[in-house]
Amino acid sequence: MKLVILSDTHGLLRPQVKEYLKTADAILHGGDINKQSIVDELRQYAPLYVVRGNNDKEWAETIPHDLTVTLEGLTFYMVHNKKELPADMTGVDVVVFGHSHKYLQEEREGRLWLNPGSCGPRRFHQEITMMMARVENGRIQVEKISIPHETLPENRA
């Protein structure tokens, strides 16, 4: 199973991101979507598992704050801000979150922690990133995807 894992799109689905979405068997979105139209578009590519971010307001009332889903034998727990994780994470293999716009892939205490970063508008001078993952028989392989950003010429007087 091929997963696209993304977060913090903030109302923008870049053409490069859409190319990866075309290959997805499922999509995990860690919140801060900002528009219903983005949710609708994501659902056209593959089954979508999504949580509400701090910038997802009234329009997103039906999107859950957190979500647990099992795919190919792995249990994923999704929440936008990792500070809002429950104390008991029993049975969770992979935690997917966003919020910081900083890419993170690390294993701690037998659990994989994934923050795909942000692939929406570039903010805070951070790189534009997302993840591709392959899940088979209870195992996961994750690949960092960096998307080049446009550099603007410096203003010259």
Q: With contact defined as beta carbons under 8 Å apart, do 109 and 93 qualify? A: no
Average pLDDT over the chain reads 92
Number of domains in the chain: 1
Q: Rounded to an integer, what is the distance from CA 81 to the centroid of its chain?
A: 12
Q: What percentage of the chain has pLDDT greater than the value 70?
A: 94
pLDDT per position as a tens digit, 91-132 = 999 999 999 999 999 999 889 999 999 998 887 678 899 999
The verdict on residue 72 lying in a domain is yes
The domain that holds 47 is classified in CATH as: 3.60.21.10
Contacts of 69 (CB under 8 A, 6+ apart): 28, 49, 75, 76, 78
Contacts of 97 (CB under 8 A, 6+ apart): 7, 30, 78, 79, 80, 81, 82, 85, 113, 114, 115
The verdict on residue 152 lying in a domain is no
The verdict on residue 96 lying in a domain is yes
Least confident window among 36-50, 85-99, 124-138, 142-156? 142-156
The verdict on residue 56 lying in a domain is yes
The verdict on residue 154 lying in a domain is no
The verdict on residue 143 lying in a domain is yes
